[in-house]
């Protein structure tokens, strides 16, 4: 086998690792302090002891809340086959009580091979749910409700949560409600009656520490020695990897990258790009791959937008900025045009455009969200008369102008003088 072939295999292996949460979170779940074992203990003890529980998983996005939950659920499904029914809801899809209940009924029907009717009313569905909870409790089956984006369920009258949690106040039912939310104050959103029925177990998911990141990198990137990959290739790969991981520059890249966001998911995204950058010819990861990944992922979209603007668009932006510097807080296209004229008068250049051309450029800027309307009112008004505002800040504009290659002198002059 050529090295390219091997490298491709290795690449596929690593990519598939990155995409499976099981692989990523399994090694972190051994210790007793890990959220995995805590969550598993809570759920499995409520299965064994036949009690009801409600748990909140909190933490910033990308910290692996759902991944750990799924890991626990799949383990429990293996451990207690056909005693667990998992109902998955997402706040973005089912935040409305009616649709949520319908979805619960549908999934319950699916799980137990019952016939589901779309026509059933809210009452029917909620009574069906309660009846099912009871029946499942009697059959020693636990129903686990996994509510993703839990905070979105905590809106309005919260009938769903109330009826769910109230149904759990009976002895016969056996259910676990797991809420997943990135809002730290998710339990404060609950209505007081609902909150009183909630059992307030909270698990906090935090981004991995520096040591954990290091371990994770090793875990993901090093190749197994016993698989179909040639042993010597894997050994060499791992050796090179070790040297990269120990490299100071590599550490800098990683810490630079994780400065903005240190969650696991964020790291995985970076690694994915780095691995995709891997050169198949050489067959090994190199520091360059990571560097390229960093530069391709850390981008400044607004500044790049400015770079892409035409001269006229830049004129308009500069004019708007001049207006704002003069503390003229409300202005529209007409006043921008006046400013444009005055600028052009003081620095006459060859390119002076007619108003309709300027309007086109103005619309373009609006679409690119470099400028925006100050309010949502006045939809009936034509664009020229609606008040606008600059969205990019002065410093960004200045930066953009500086790096603009073919910027006319007057522009840079303009921008510097205010």
| Interactions with other proteins, residue window 109-168 (CB under 8 A) | 109, 112-117, 119-128, 130-132, 134-141, 157, 159, 162-163, 166, 168
Per-residue contact flags (x/-) with other proteins for residues 238 to 267, judged by CB under 8 A:
------------------x-xxxxx-----
Asked if 202 interacts with other proteins (CB under 8 A), we say yes
Listed ranges 38-46, 225-233, 283-291, 346-354: which one lies at the site for other proteins (CB under 8 A): 38-46
Q: Which is nearer to other proteins, 23 or 41 (CB)?
A: 41
Which alpha helices (DSSP H) does 112-221 contain, by range?
A: 122-138, 150-153, 159-167, 192-197, 210-221
Minimum distance from residue 213 beta carbon to other proteins (Å): 11
Asked if 105 interacts with other proteins (CB under 8 A), we say yes
Asked if 196 interacts with other proteins (CB under 8 A), we say yes
Indicate the helix (H) or strand (E) that contains 175: strand 175-181
Asked if 199 interacts with other proteins (CB under 8 A), we say yes
Question: How many C-beta atoms lie closer than 10 Å to residue 169's C-beta?
Answer: 9
With b for 16 or more beta-carbon neighbours within 10 A and e for fewer, the 207-226 pattern comes to bbeeeebeebbeebbbbeee
**What tokens does 403 get?**
């790096």
Asked if 52 interacts with other proteins (CB under 8 A), we say yes
Asked if 218 interacts with other proteins (CB under 8 A), we say no
**For residues 337 and 333, what is the distance between their CA atoms, to the nearest angstrom?**
6
79-86: list long-range contacts, CB under 8 Å, 24+ apart: 79/44, 80/44, 80/47, 80/142, 82/141, 83/47, 83/140, 83/141, 83/142, 84/47, 84/141, 84/142, 84/143, 84/144, 85/111, 85/112, 85/136, 85/141, 85/142, 85/143, 85/144, 86/143, 86/144, 86/146
**For residues 182 and 402, what is the distance between their CA atoms, to the nearest angstrom?**
39
**Burial classification of residue 395, based on how many CB atoms lie within 10 Å of its CB (0-12 exposed, 13-18 middle, 19 or more buried):** exposed
Among 219, 251, 368, 389, binds other proteins (CB under 8 A): 389
Indicate the helix (H) or strand (E) that contains 362: helix 355-367
Minimum distance from residue 188 beta carbon to other proteins (Å): 7
**For residues 320 and 98, what is the distance between their CA atoms, to the nearest angstrom?**
48
With b for 16 or more beta-carbon neighbours within 10 A and e for fewer, the 42-54 pattern comes to bbbebbeeebbbb
CA angle, 355 then 361 then 362, to 5°: 85
Among 13, 60, 103, 222, binds other proteins (CB under 8 A): 60
Q: Which is nearer to other proteins, 173 or 229 (CB)?
A: 173
Asked if 299 interacts with other proteins (CB under 8 A), we say yes
Q: Which is nearer to other proteins, 299 or 405 (CB)?
A: 299
Among 57, 58, 76, 320, binds other proteins (CB under 8 A): 58
Minimum distance from residue 232 beta carbon to other proteins (Å): 38
Among 93, 155, 156, 200, binds other proteins (CB under 8 A): 200
Per-residue contact flags (x/-) with other proteins for residues 346 to 385, judged by CB under 8 A:
-----------------------x--x-------------
Minimum distance from residue 356 beta carbon to other proteins (Å): 28
Q: Which is nearer to other proteins, 187 or 339 (CB)?
A: 187
Asked if 302 interacts with other proteins (CB under 8 A), we say yes
Asked if 170 interacts with other proteins (CB under 8 A), we say yes
Q: Which is nearer to other proteins, 196 or 242 (CB)?
A: 196
> Residues touching other proteins: how many (CB under 8 A)?
101
Among 15, 26, 201, 368, binds other proteins (CB under 8 A): 201
Of 339, 336, 382, 344, nearest to 362 by C-alpha is 336
Indicate the helix (H) or strand (E) that contains 88: strand 84-90
Among 171, 231, 246, 416, binds other proteins (CB under 8 A): 171
Q: Which is nearer to other proteins, 155 or 243 (CB)?
A: 155
Asked if 334 interacts with other proteins (CB under 8 A), we say no
Please state whether beta strands 175-181 and 53-58 pair in parallel, antiparallel, or not at all (unpaired).
parallel
């Amino acid at each position: 086998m050529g090295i390219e072939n091997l490298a491709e295999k290795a690449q596929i292996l690593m990519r598939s690792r990155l995409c499976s949460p099981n692989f990523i979170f399994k090694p972190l779940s051994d210790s007793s302090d890990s959220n995995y074992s805590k969550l598993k203990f809570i759920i499995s003890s409520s299965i064994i002891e036949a009690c009801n529980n409600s748990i909140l998983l909190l933490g910033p996005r990308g910290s692996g809340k759902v991944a750990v939950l799924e890991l626990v659920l799949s383990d429990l499904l293996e451990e207690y086959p056909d005693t667990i029914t998992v109902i998955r809801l997402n706040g973005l899809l089912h935040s409305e009580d009616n649709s949520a209940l319908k979805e619960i009924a549908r999934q319950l029907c699916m799980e137990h091979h019952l016939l589901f009717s779309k026509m059933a009313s809210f009452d029917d569905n909620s009574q069906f749910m309660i009846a099912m909870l009871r029946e499942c409790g009697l059959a020693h089956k636990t129903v686990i409700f996994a509510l993703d984006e839990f905070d979105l369920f905590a809106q309005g009258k919260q009938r769903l949560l109330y009826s769910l949690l109230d149904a759990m106040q009976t002895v016969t039912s056996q259910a676990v409600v797991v809420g997943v939310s990135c809002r730290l104050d998710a339990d404060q959103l609950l209505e007081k009656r609902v909150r009183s029925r909630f059992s307030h177990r909270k698990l906090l998911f935090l981004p991995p520490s520096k040591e954990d990141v290091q371990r994770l990198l090793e875990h993901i990137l090093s190749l197994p020695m016993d698989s179909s990959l040639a042993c010597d290739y894997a050994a060499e790969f791992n050796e090179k990897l070790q040297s990269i991981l120990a490299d100071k520059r590599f550490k800098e890249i990683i810490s630079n990258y994780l400065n903005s966001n240190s969650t696991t998911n964020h790291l995985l995204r970076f690694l994915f790009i780095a691995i995709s950058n891997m050169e198949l010819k050489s067959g090994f990861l190199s520091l360059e791959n990571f560097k390229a990944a960093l530069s391709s992922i850390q981008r400044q979209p607004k500044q790049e937008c400015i770079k892409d603007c035409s001269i006229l668009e830049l004129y308009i932006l500069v004019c708007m900025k001049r207006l704002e510097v003069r503390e003229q807080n409300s202005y529209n296209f007409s006043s921008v045009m006046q400013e444009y004229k005055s600028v052009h008068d003081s620095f006459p250049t060859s390119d002076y455009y007619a108003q309709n051309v300027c309007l086109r450029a103005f619309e373009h800027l609006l679409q690119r969200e470099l400028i925006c309307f100050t309010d949502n009112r006045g939809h009936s008004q034509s664009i020229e008369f609606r008040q606008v505002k600059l969205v990019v800040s002065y410093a960004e504009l200045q930066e953009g102008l500086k790096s603009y290659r073919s910027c006319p002198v007057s522009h840079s002059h303009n921008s510097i003088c205010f």
